[in-house]
Amino acid sequence: MPAATLSREEVVTRILQEFRNHGYDGTSLARLSQATGLGRSSLYHYFPNGKEDMATAAMAAVGEVFVNEVLAALNSEGSPSQRLHAFTKQLSVFYQDGQTSCLTDVFSMGGAAVLFQKYLALRVSNLMRNIAAVLSVAGFDKAEATRRAENAIITIQGSLVVSRALGDNAPFLRVLREMPDTLLAA
Which of 103, 85, 66, 107 minimizes the C-alpha distance to 176? 85
| Cα 88 off chain centre by | 13
Minimum CB–partner distance for residue 30 and DNA (Å) = 4
Q: How far apart are CA 169 and CA 98, in angstroms?
A: 5
Among 12, 106, 132, 149, binds a copy of itself (CB under 8 A): 106
Of residues 3-32, those binding DNA (CB under 7 A): 3-4, 6, 27-30
Contacts of 156 (CB under 8 A, 6+ apart): 91, 102, 175, 176, 179
Whole-number CA gyration radius for the chain = 18
**In the complex, least distance from residue 23 CB atom to DNA, rounded to whole angstroms:** 11
The item of a copy of itself, DNA, none sharing an interface with residue 23, based on CB under 5 to 8 Å by kind, is: a copy of itself
Pick from 10, 34, 39, 129 the residue near DNA by CB under 7 A. Answer: 39
Is position 139 an interface residue for DNA (rule: CB under 7 A)? no
Question: Contact 160/95 with Cβ under 8 angstroms?
Answer: yes
- Residues 6+ positions from 39 with CB-CB distance below 8 Å: 33
C-beta closer to DNA: residue 70 or 103: 103
Assess 41 for contact with DNA (CB under 7 A).
yes
d(CA 38, CA 33): 5
Q: Which helix (H) or strand (E) holds 109?
A: none
Tell me which stretch binds a copy of itself (CB under 8 A): 76-84, 87-95, 138-146, 169-177.
Answer: 169-177
Residue 167 binds which entry of a copy of itself, DNA, none, CB below 5-8 Å type-dependent? a copy of itself
Residue from the set 61, 162, 173, 184 that interacts with a copy of itself by CB under 8 A: 162
> What residues line the site for a copy of itself (CB under 8 A)?
22-26, 101-102, 104-106, 108-111, 117, 120-121, 124-125, 147, 150-151, 153-159, 161-162, 164-167, 171, 174-175
